Structure 1
Amino acid sequence: MLTPNRMKYRKQFKGRIKGVASKGHYVAFGDFGLAADGKAKLTSRQIESARIAINRYLKRGGNLIIRIFPHKPITSKPLEVRQGKGKGAVEYYVAPVKEGTILYEVGGVTEEQAKEAFRRASHKLPVKTKFVRRETVEAAQ
């Protein structure tokens, strides 16, 4: 599972996910990408599950690049504990994702293979996604 090695502060505020992506919104490393079509918080388990789905379909044929990393800690207090007494312990980490963020990229495979791999991965994610090519994104900018 993906977790940060070191953090300046162990616990963070919740915050809100606003606007559309201004960074990481174009295919940079591979030929095809999977872009988020909405806002979400992706847990490290979801990121890993989608990665496994892509690799299993491609049979390690192409190269896969994960463009997101879960760096935001989510805390929770145990069940049946009274209010007060401070913030709960860190349970897991999430990657806040804005609309348009590229989640995964693949290279060295055909477009049909990439589409099917991303379709399988999108079932593991809590956000709607769309398939993007390197040319379509470059032409839009």
Structure 2
Amino acid sequence: MVRAYSRREYIRKIPNNRIVQYDMGNLSEDFPVRLSLAVKKPAQIRHNALEAARIASNRYMQRSAGRLGYHLKLRVYPHNIVRENPMATGAGADRVQSGMRNAFGKAISVEALVKTNQKVMSIDVNPKNFEDAKVALKRAGMKLPVSCKIVVEKGAELIK
């Protein structure tokens, strides 16, 4: 397997990760039911897509289950650095630009490399909030650039 472009000691300017939190909700309680959002195909998910998914699911769970009725955890971290070879525009750009020669690119973003069936985020809830957690994960999946599925990891026997 080819190593991702993630060795930060060799890179001059690294873009900031926009993900604010990785654990939200009630961190101390042990909930009986766990649902996860898993990707169906290998993908590259940028940090701003992960943050949008986190915000969407966290906001829905706060409204439906309350601040202490769930535990949401983001399970991937964006390590891979994305590069772009910016093309010059405007008058005389063709004389300045060198095309694909020396086209290594500048770092513009960070992304998480996910594999098939890897879990991106999980929500731990009580059985009464099971449907709310499913809706929250579905909303989070809409923000990601890959198709996702919802997996019940723990407590499937508790759900009616």
Band of TM-score, shorter chain: 0.7 to 0.9
Alignment pair present for 1:95 and 2:103: no
Choose 94-103 or 59-68, whichever is displaced more: 59-68
Question: What is the alpha-carbon distance in structure 1 between the residues aligned to residue 105 and residue 86 of structure 2?
Answer: 8
Match of 1:79 in 2: 87
Deviation for aligned residue 1:136: 8.5
Provide structure 2 residue ranges, at least 5 long, that are not aligned to the other structure: 1-6, 13-30, 89-96
Provide structure 1 residue ranges, at least 5 long, that are not aligned to the other structure: 1-5, 12-28
TM-score normalised by length of structure 2: 0.64
Question: What is the alpha-carbon distance in structure 2 between the residues aligned to residue 116 and residue 49 of structure 1?
Answer: 15
Structure 1 residues 106 and 135, CA gap change in structure 2 (3 angstroms): closer
Match of 2:131 in 1: 112
Match of 2:140 in 1: 121
Contact 1:33 1:133 in 2 (8 A): yes
Q: SS at 1:99's partner residue?
A: coil
Contact 1:10 1:73 in 2 (8 A): no
Task: Please point out which of 143, 150, 158 is paired with 1:131.
Answer: 150
Question: What is the alpha-carbon distance in structure 2 between the residues aligned to residue 36 and residue 127 of structure 1?
Answer: 7
Report the aligned-residue RMSD.
2.4
Contact 1:38 1:128 in 2 (8 A): yes
Deviation for aligned residue 1:40: 0.9
Deviation for aligned residue 1:7: 2.1
Aligned-residue identity in percent: 32
Match of 2:11 in 1: 10
Computing the radius of gyration from Cα coordinates, the structure with the larger value is 2
CA deviations 1:46-94 (Å, max 9, x no partner) are 0000000001101144111111011000111212332324521100011
Alignment pair present for 1:41 and 2:57: no
Contact 1:65 1:106 in 2 (8 A): yes
Question: By percentage of residues, which structure has more helix?
Answer: 2
Deviation for aligned residue 1:135: 4.0
- Give the aligned length: 115
Match of 1:63 in 2: 71
Q: SS at 1:31's partner residue?
A: strand
Question: What is the alpha-carbon distance in structure 2 between the residues aligned to residue 135 and residue 105 of structure 1?
Answer: 11
One-letter code of the match for 2:112?
A: A
